[in-house]
Amino acid sequence: MANSYKFKGVTLSTQSETSILTAAAKETIIIKSLRVTNNTANTPSISFDVLDSSSSVEATFLNTQSLSANNSVEILTQPLVIDTTDILKATVSSNDNIDIGLSYLTIS
């Protein structure tokens, strides 16, 4: 098994549900930190879902977290595991610029 620590940054500026991170075939991802930054004076909200591809079920693990103006928030208090081919998705309530930073470990 190979382990690799990684960081991924994503900027959202649309209200559409957006895929943020997908576990490759034969890969498990352990997300240690999921930090969201609101770069505007507005106060949008954000939601996160995980699509479990093995059962075709999309589960919401954060629903409409309000984001303070020009501020950052750490979403996770415990690590989040994404299994093989599962997808982490985010939805923002407005077209504001929201940055998402993920620190994670891949195991393959």
CB 8 within 8 A of CB 21: yes
Cβ–Cβ under 8 Å, residues 40 and 70: yes
Q: What is the pLDDT of residue 47?
A: 96
Predicted structure pTM score: 0.91
Picking from 23, 19, 22, 20, the residue whose alpha carbon sits closest to that of residue 9 is 20
Round to whole Å and give the CA distance between 46 and 107.
28
Q: What is the pLDDT of residue 95?
A: 84
- Tens-level pLDDT at each residue, the chain (108 residues): 789 999 999 999 888 999 999 999 999 999 999 999 999 999 999 999 999 988 999 999 999 899 999 999 999 999 999 999 999 999 999 888 899 999 999 999
